[in-house]
Amino acid sequence: MHKTVKFGGSSLADAKQFRKVAAILEADESRRYVVVSAPGKRWSGDVKVTDLLYTCYNAAARGEDFSGPFGQIRERYGEIRAELGLKLDLDAALNEIEARLCAHPDRDYAASRGEYLNALLMADFLGIPMVDAAGRILFDEGGSFLPERSYRTLSAKLRETPRAVIPGFYGSFEDGRIHTFSRGGSDVTGAIVARATNSALYENWTDVSGLLSCDPHIVENPAPIRAISYTELRELSYMGASVLHESAIFPVKSAGIPINIRNTNAPDDPGTMIQTGAGVKYDRPVTGIAGRKGFSTILVEMDQMNETVGYARDVLQVIADHGILMEHMPSGIDTLSVVVPTEQLDPHRNEILVELKQKTHADAIYVSDRLSLIAVVGRGMVRQKGTAMRAFRALADAQINVNMIDQGSGEMNIIIGVETADFEEAMRALYAEFFPR
């Protein structure tokens, strides 16, 4: 049995954190494949190495001098190297990065070098090989990840290497050009490595002891989530509760590989185990509560709408033609509401209203802003009667008006829309109902 382990930027911010990582690896010899992020913040006002690299790229793209921020990068890695007593010479790699930024500025190449340099340092510190993700984690020309080819190529290489360090966040096009995932993409790299090596477990080490049942900025000391299904995690992550890149779920979910979220600074904490629903035991109906602000509702009214074939399709087509995501679509017999992100709607608001009127011949169209969405999520709700009643009663007792209700047919989540002014109080009321102290 072997495990893939990924360490985030806060876990690798300095030499002290490197030593913590080494101790975690030494404590369990089955932790064989190590995915690393770039160094993160060491303190509140510090700057992440990836942000310094973006600053260098932006200056280079404008033909400006970037020696200041690049000097900070040199110093940062030099400090880690010196404090760990490593003999590895990073000057050649740093000089090459600087030269390439001067000659041919490339945003993805620049952003990826934080992980690349950290992987070189970690591999030297641990005394094991570094296996570059470039040429092994592959993307097509449109920037879409090529899963099967990547698993096959990476698996072939790692079969030759019983232990290895792999830089996270990036891969390459087939011609060798570097391409990155979105920010936080080292989580995805870890999942890809776990899948390619058929790991028994994917451990994702960060600076918190797993997932929490609610936002700690809103609810004081929310209960930790010890076990959660992939599907529940996806629902909560989409609504803003995330310590894991949401795309990291897919490579391991299809292979049945569990994910364990752990804390580098508290390695004895069990963290959160993410697995298939069949492996999760539920002691309460709700697993977690999460929410997001910044939504608008487009309400379309027309008599006998329910007798008009394709009406919903026509409404959604107008919205899609402007590149706007549809979040939810509660409806009635003669009404249809579409919930969309306000920031996506704003640049096209007037055109959309005109086009909707022309295409649907609606009797009336209204737009309401300042909507927030709250998701009450839990597979345990399927077996518990009255969960929705409890949620709405808690909100009513808190004098909070419900603007929208949307429940999935799988009975695993209830989406509640409230005025943004009531958002925090609504979250606290729902948490108090389902997670009594």
Name the domain boundary from 238, 253, 277.
Answer: 277
Mark whether 159 and 294 lie in a shared domain.
no
Mark whether 272 and 366 lie in a shared domain.
no
For residue 401, being part of any structural domain is answered with yes
Q: What's the domain range around 175?
A: 3-277
For residue 283, being part of any structural domain is answered with no
Mark whether 207 and 300 lie in a shared domain.
no
Mark whether 271 and 362 lie in a shared domain.
no
CA nearest to 405, candidates 311, 342, 356, 332: 332
pTM: 0.87
Q: Other CB atoms closer than 10 Å to residue 392's CB: what's the count? A: 17
Mark whether 112 and 135 lie in a shared domain.
yes
For residue 282, being part of any structural domain is answered with no
Q: What average pLDDT does the segment 5-26 reach?
A: 98
Name the domain boundary from 244, 277, 310.
Answer: 277
Mark whether 252 and 295 lie in a shared domain.
no
Mark whether 357 and 380 lie in a shared domain.
yes
For residue 11, being part of any structural domain is answered with yes
Residues 6+ apart with CB under 8 A from 110: 53, 54, 56, 57, 60, 97, 101
DSSP string computed for 112-134:
HHHHHHHHHHHHHHHTS-B--ST
pLDDT (tens digit per residue) in 398-425: 999 999 998 866 678 899 999 999 999 9
For residue 359, being part of any structural domain is answered with yes
Question: Domain of 326: which CATH number?
Answer: 3.30.2130.10
Angle, CA of 400, 404 and 409, to the nearest 5°:
125
For residue 189, being part of any structural domain is answered with yes
Mark whether 266 and 299 lie in a shared domain.
no
CA nearest to 19, candidates 98, 132, 160, 126: 126
pLDDT (tens digit per residue) in 140-155: 999 999 999 999 999 9
Question: Positive or negative CA dihedral for 260, 266, 268, 270?
Answer: negative
Lowest mean pLDDT among 69-78, 238-247, 263-272: 238-247
Lowest mean pLDDT among 188-202, 233-247, 283-297: 233-247
Residues 6+ apart with CB under 8 A from 434: 284, 285, 286, 289, 376, 390, 391
User: Could you give the count of Cα atoms lying within 13 Å of 161 in the half-sphere of its Cβ?
Assistant: 22
Angle, CA of 196, 202 and 205, to the nearest 5°:
130
Name the domain boundary from 277, 297, 314.
Answer: 277
Q: What gap in Å lies between CA 229 and CA 15, rounded to an integer?
A: 35
Q: Other CB atoms closer than 10 Å to residue 88's CB: what's the count? A: 14
Question: Domain of 134: which CATH number?
Answer: 3.40.1160.10
How many domains does the chain fold into? 2
For residue 186, being part of any structural domain is answered with yes
Mark whether 176 and 195 lie in a shared domain.
yes
| Rg of the chain in Å (alpha carbons) | 24
Mark whether 51 and 190 lie in a shared domain.
yes
For residue 38, being part of any structural domain is answered with yes
Q: What is the bridge-based pairing of β-strands 288-301 and 364-377?
A: antiparallel
Share of the chain above pLDDT 90, in %: 85
Mark whether 130 and 158 lie in a shared domain.
yes
Calculate the alpha carbon distances from 218 to 35, 286, 358 in Å.
32, 18, 43
Mark whether 149 and 197 lie in a shared domain.
yes
Q: What gap in Å lies between CA 390 and CA 376, rounded to an integer?
A: 11
